[in-house]
Structure 1
Amino acid sequence: MGPLAPNPVELVLGLVCFFFVFLVLGRRVLPRIERTLAEREEATGGRLAVAERIRHEALELRGERRAQLDAARHEAARIRQTAAEEGAALVAAARAEAQREREELVTAAQVQLAASRVIAEAELREDVVTSAVELAGRVVGEPLAGLPRTEAAVARFRAELEAAD
């Protein structure tokens, strides 16, 4: 008897034992295994679903935060632009005011300079006349100040100067 010709009793007994073990496994053990696997799958699948839902919520929050950051950046850029425009306007106004004040100062200085020049010319003319009369008196050897001829010469000199101006 070898493996190719089995003993019929052993074969029947082996088949009965096989079907008995198959039946016990099929009715008792396999349902328990399937139930345990289903519970594990449900627990794992439930956690995956929760994790997926949390992930979606996180992505939504991330999108909202990005939108808020973009809006804040846009608002900051608008504020910077407004501040730059206001600053430029203030600088332009300050420059215009400074220009106006400079023009006023220049005009006042020119008026004062012209007045000082007129006063200096008048004083200089008077000094020239006085010096000329005094020098002429030294040349002649007698004081010429207060003489009618001297007064007439001084009056002619002044008239010539005014006519020249």
Structure 2
Amino acid sequence: MNNAVILAAEGANPLIPNVWEIVVTVIGFAILLFIVSKFVVPAFEKTYEERSAAIEGGIAKAEAAQAEANAALESYKQQLTDARTEANRIREEARAEGAQILADLKEKAAAESARITEQAHVQIEAERQAAVASLRNEVGTLATALAGKIVGESLADDARSARVVDRFLSDLESQQSAGASK
């Protein structure tokens, strides 16, 4: 029997496969191909599509977030510009208002100064008139007393002495006016 196996083994060519082995291998390959194409490939396709969708969704979300961030940035820049413009406008209004208040205060101060000056002039004029009246009375009394001593008699008539004093003072004032106009 040993010899029969050796003889049989000698007649088979190891480079040419057996037909039944080829058929079984082809059937096994076909079954494996069918299982892979029916179950494995769709699972891979589904996973690939889910990952692609997730990546594209993430990219879309990132782009939307970026667009929203850019819009918010532009909005903030616009608000900042508006705030600066408003601040400049308020600052200019405050300057103008301050200048107006300063001008009003200067005007009030000038008016108050003019009023005080006018009041002082009126008071000085009133005091001058009072001093002139007082001097007239004293000069009249002194002049009457002096004239009475010179003449040697009393000039007690008040009406006459007042006329004499008034005439004397009028003459004195006209002499001063004539002297001032020269």
Q: Which TM-score tier does this pair reach, normalised by the shorter chain?
A: 0.5 to 0.7
CA separation of 1:120 and 1:21: change in aligned 2, threshold 3 A: farther
2:39 alignment partner in structure 1: 29
Q: Is 1:39 aligned to 2:41, yes or no?
A: no
Greater RCO structure (CA 8 Å; 6+ sep):
2
Structure 2 counterpart of 1:94, from 100, 104, 116? 104
Which one of the candidate residues 110, 113, 118 is aligned to 1:103?
113
Match of 1:5 in 2: none
C-alpha separation in 1, matches of 2:32 and 2:137: 148
Match of 1:113 in 2: 123
| One-letter amino acid of the counterpart of residue 158, structure 2 | A
**Could you say what secondary structure the match of 1:50 adopts?**
helix
What is the CA-CA distance between 1:111 and the residue it aligns to? 1.9
Structure 1 unaligned spans of 5+: 1-15, 135-139
TM, length-normalised to structure 1:
0.63
Report the residue type matching 2:86 in the other structure.
Answer: A
Match in the other structure for 2:14: none
Aligned to 1:50: 60
Aligned-residue offset at 1:103: 2.6
* Count of aligned pairs between the two proteins: 139
- Pick from 59, 62, 76: which aligns with 1:66? 76
Task: Name stretches of at least 5 consecutive residues in structure 2 with no aligned partner.
Answer: 1-24, 146-152, 177-182
Q: Using a 3 Å threshold, how does the CA distance of structure 1 residues 22 and 119 change in structure 2: closer, same or farther?
A: same
Structure 1 range deviating more: 25-34 or 53-62 = 25-34
- Cα distance in 2 for partners of 1:21, 1:129 equals 156
Shift of 1:96: 2.1
Larger radius of gyration: 2
Distance in 2, matches of 1:42 and 1:81, equals 57
Within 2, Cα distance between the matches of 1:142 and 1:116?
31
CA distance in 2, matches of 1:142, 1:104: 49
Instruction: Provide TM-score, normalisation by structure 2.
Output: 0.58
> For residues 45 and 103 of structure 1, what CA distance do their matches in structure 2 show?
84
Shift of 1:54: 0.9
Q: State the superposition RMSD in angstroms.
A: 3.8
